[in-house]
Amino acid sequence: MKRILFAVFLAFISIQVYGQDEETTLTQVGQTVPYFSVATIDGKVIDISALRGKVVLINFFATWCGPCMSELPRVESDIWQKLGASDFVVIAIGREHTMNELIEFNREKKFSFLIAPDHEREVYGLFAKAYIPRNYLIGRNGRILYQSQGYTPEDFKELIRFIKAEIE
């Protein structure tokens, strides 16, 4: 009986989590990436439409988010340092952060991929309503190939598989 109740509980939780994702995610795999432009902490202006022809990983994070702080070092070491190439771009967008906050943050962390603030959630609001971290892999054709919410080692491995398939 305990096993049956546990199975029902797991099913309920899965439905709740899936439902939250559907309710809070505004994009779908296969659609064209929403247009945005951001200024990075190193003074560059990134226009997503100008990146067509490249593979782009967009990561939404916050400095106070525990899962984000577990994921970003892996984005640096397992994705950017190992897979970075001239036709692959990583943009980490700090949800609700200012330019100065992210400059200070990166002085400590020393990430080498692009980082940009989204103080008013203008960019984030094109992709989702709630929850971070979030990853969006954009193909050379400007369409979303993969998207995820939250951070688990399994999801991260899947993201890496998608990136490798697209850039190799």
pLDDT per position as a tens digit, 72-129: 999 999 999 999 888 999 999 999 999 999 999 999 999 999 999 999 999 999 999 9
Pick the CATH number of 2-167 from 3.40.605.10, 3.30.1490.190, 3.30.470.20, 3.40.30.10: 3.40.30.10
Location of structure tokens 């994921």: 71
Per-residue confidence (pLDDT) for residue 86, from 0 to 100 = 86
At position 12, the amino acid (one-letter code) is F
What is the value of pTM for the model shown?
Answer: 0.86
